[in-house]
């Protein structure tokens, strides 16, 4: 049970981290496109 809780928390961290990285990438790409355009 404890291992399952730890595993779930780790999955949540990975999902949150991935979402943050994706957001930063999207913002960065948008900025580059705006500057080039």
| Per-residue pLDDT tens over the stretch 1-37 | 677 787 889 999 999 999 999 999 999 999 999 999 8
How high is the pLDDT of residue 1?
63
Distance CA 30, CA 17 (A): 20
How high is the pLDDT of residue 12?
95
* Tokens describing residue 33: 């496109």
Distance CA 27, CA 22 (A): 9
How high is the pLDDT of residue 5?
83
How high is the pLDDT of residue 3?
72
pTM: 0.65
What are the helix (H) ranges across 1-37?
A: 2-36
């Amino acid at each position: 049970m404890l291992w399952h809780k730890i595993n779930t928390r780790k999955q949540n961290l990975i999902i949150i981290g991935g979402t943050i990285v994706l957001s930063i990438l999207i913002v960065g790409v948008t900025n580059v496109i705006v500057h080039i355009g």
